[in-house]
């Protein structure tokens, strides 16, 4: 009888902890230093935004032939669309356009 009473008493003592379940995460408060550290980490990892000052076009035409990036500047190389005249290795090219 004493063993049953002890087991029952332990069960009564731990049952509120078992009934608690998962913690409501909407009421957990983060410290200011944690938030500041998370912000600083994300801020240091972000990339620069592209603007007209750091995107450079090279050449003219409608076809992009290359895109390179160096030191925060993106260079887009463009060319006209051409076809060889006479043979595939001909240096004489005809410019074409598509609509």
Distances (CA, A) of 71 to 9, 54, 68, 89: 70, 9, 10, 36
Q: pTM of the predicted model, to two decimals?
A: 0.40
Structure tokens at 47: 């990339």
Looking at every residue in the chain, the average pLDDT score rounds to 79
SS3 69: strand
pLDDT digits (tens, 9 = 90+) for 78-87: 988 788 888 8
CB 73 within 8 A of CB 79: no
Q: Which residues of the chain have pLDDT under 70?
A: 1, 5-6, 10-11, 13-25, 48, 98-99
End-to-end CA, the chain: 94
Question: What count of Cα atoms within 13 Å lies in the side-chain half-sphere of residue 60?
Answer: 1
């Amino acid at each position: 009888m004493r063993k049953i009473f002890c087991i029952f008493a332990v069960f009564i003592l731990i049952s509120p902890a078992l009934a608690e379940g998962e913690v409501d995460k909407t009421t957990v408060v983060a410290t200011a230093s944690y938030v500041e550290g998370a912000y600083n980490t994300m801020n240091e990892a972000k990339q620069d935004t592209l603007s007209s000052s750091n995107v450079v076009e090279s050449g003219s035409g409608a076809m992009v032939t290359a895109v390179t990036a160096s030191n925060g500047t993106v260079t887009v190389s463009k060319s006209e669309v051409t076809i060889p005249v006479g043979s595939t290795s001909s240096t004489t090219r005809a410019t074409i356009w598509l609509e």
